């Protein structure tokens, strides 16, 4: 895996706590090949003790702190003031994690990757030394630091993966995967328009509480990451429909760039990419079939691999290590 910087100038360890998604695990494993990076595993015995204490707390009206248990877990890993702990918003309040975070002796960093509110950020300020978000609007609203969205693979690894296409097609293949979130009608309409243009449609809308009228594209569960990754590789065009209120760069946009795909998106933030080009990224508010037809037919301008380094995992690691 190609490096974006020389690691020898750093002498601290970096721990990722609660990064459980498969693509996150792949990213951490990749970083660990060249850097002093580790997954922070909480031992099973500590989890059992925490569950027992929480169960007792429901029966006995006492406030039983688990800070001592967090200290115990950190001590087992010989945590020092030089070390860095990186957590995400989805895991910061789960299980024993708050006690591990609060008693961690080193620098504590929170990466917010989804939409949160001010109350959550205020609560997290008590636990973390630095808070980052990929969403510039959230950064402005809550006074937190902006971090460029990063991709699980660097450019070299992504290019190698992109050679493993399993389903070659004579037609342009369009791929969408995401939760319904009230977008099903729009997504189905886009699928129908693309199909009328001769495209092969590989859409999967994951059912959620907003799913009322189900379409042929609805499915019960999210694909395992490896299957999702293969469908991206097999596609020619990726489709992205942002949530209302969402801003900033997404992983889907980076997938398009790193895996050399076209992207049809509602996300205006892609215009801020160093490698943005209208031959690769089509931004729409209202789906225009004629404009899409021209976009699909146009050749894609090559992306300079050097431009992708800004979004590689090593660049994220460098930014956090230089706190």
Q: Are 217 and 191 in contact (CB under 8 A)?
A: yes
Report yes or no on 86 lying in a domain.
yes
Distant-in-sequence contacts of 194-200, Cβ < 8 A, 24+ apart:
194/292, 196/289, 197/289, 197/292, 197/293, 197/296, 198/171, 198/172, 199/171, 199/172, 199/173, 199/174, 199/237, 199/296, 200/169, 200/171, 200/172, 200/173, 200/174
In a domain, 1, yes or no: no
Of the three residues 98, 116, 147, the one that is the final residue of a domain is 147
The answer to whether residue 304 scores a pLDDT higher than 80 is yes
State the residue range of the domain holding 188. 155-309
Residue 2 pLDDT more than 50? no
The per-residue pLDDT for range 251-274, each reduced to its tens digit, is 899 999 999 999 999 998 888 888
Quick check: is 69 in a domain?
yes
Structure tokens at 264: 């049809």
Confidence of residue 7 (pLDDT cuts 50, 70, 90): very low
What is the average pLDDT across 208-213?
Answer: 87
- Same-domain check for residues 210 and 277: yes
User: CA–CA separation, 99 vs 223, rounded Å?
Assistant: 32
Q: Which residue, 122, 147, 172, sits at the end of a domain? A: 147
* pTM (2 d.p.): 0.82
Contact 96, 17 (CB under 8 A): no
The total number of structural domains in the chain stands at 2
Q: What percent of the chain has pLDDT over 70?
A: 95
Q: Check whether 27 has a pLDDT greater than 90.
A: yes
- Whole-number mean pLDDT of the chain? 90
Domain-ending residue, one of 124, 147, 170: 147
Per-residue pLDDT tens digits for 57-67: 888 877 788 99
Q: Does residue 304 sit in the same domain as residue 178?
A: yes
Within a domain: residue 26? yes
Q: In what order do the strands lie in the sheet with 237-240?
A: 218-219, 200-206, 173-179, 237-240, 262-265, 281-283
In a domain, 314, yes or no: no
Helix (H) or strand (E) holding 115: none
- Regarding whether 163 and 116 lie in a shared domain, the answer is no
Q: Based on the fold, state whether residues 174 and 304 are members of the same structural domain.
A: yes
CA 95 to CA 101: how far, in whole Å? 11
Query: The domain spanning residue 135 has which CATH number?
Result: 3.40.50
136 and 162 share one domain: no
Largest Cα–Cα distance of the chain, in whole Å? 68
Residue 2 domain flag: no
Do 137 and 160 lie in a common domain? no
- Over residues 306-315, the pLDDT tens digits come to 888 889 999 9
| Region label for 126, one of left (φ > 0), alpha (ψ between -120 and 50) or beta (otherwise) | alpha
For residue 4, name the pLDDT band (cuts at 50, 70, 90).
Answer: very low
pLDDT digits (tens, 9 = 90+) for 238-254: 999 987 666 677 889 99
């Amino acid at each position: 895996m190609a490096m974006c910087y020389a690691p020898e100038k750093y002498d601290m360890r970096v721990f990722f706590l609660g990064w459980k998604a498969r693509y996150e695990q792949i990213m951490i494993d990749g970083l660990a090949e060249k850097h002093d990076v580790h997954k922070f595993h909480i031992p099973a015995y500590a989890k059992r003790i925490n569950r027992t204490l929480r169960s007792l707390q429901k029966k006995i009206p006492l406030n039983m702190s688990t800070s001592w248990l967090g200290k115990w877990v950190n001590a087992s890993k010989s945590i020092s003031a030089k070390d860095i702990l990186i957590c995400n918003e989805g895991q910061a309040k789960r299980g024993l994690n708050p006690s591990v975070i609060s008693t961690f002796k080193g620098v504590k960093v929170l990466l917010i990757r989804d939409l949160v509110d001010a109350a959550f950020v205020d609560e997290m300020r008590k636990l973390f030394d630095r808070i980052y978000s990929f969403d510039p609007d959230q950064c402005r609203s809550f006074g937190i630091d902006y971090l460029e969205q990063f991709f699980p693979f660097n450019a070299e690894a992504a290019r190698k993966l992109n050679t493993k296409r399993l389903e070659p097609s004579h037609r342009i293949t369009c791929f969408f995967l995401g939760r319904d979130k009230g977008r099903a009608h729009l997504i189905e309409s886009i699928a129908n328009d693309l199909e009328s243009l001769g495209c092969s449609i590989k859409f999967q809308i994951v059912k959620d509480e907003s799913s009322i009228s189900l379409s042929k594209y609805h499915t019960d569960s999210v694909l395992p990451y490896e299957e999702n990754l293969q469908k991206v590789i097999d596609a020619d065009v990726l489709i992205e429909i942002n949530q209302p209120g969402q801003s900033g760069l997404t992983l889907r946009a980076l997938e398009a760039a790193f895996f050399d795909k076209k992207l049809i998106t509602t996300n205006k933030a892609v215009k801020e990419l160093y490698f943005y080009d209208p031959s690769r990224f089509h931004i729409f508010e209202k789906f225009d079939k004629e404009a899409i037809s021209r976009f699909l037919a146009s050749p894609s301008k090559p992306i300079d691999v050097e431009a992708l380094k800004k979004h590689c995992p090593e660049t994220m690691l460098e930014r956090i290590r230089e706190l």
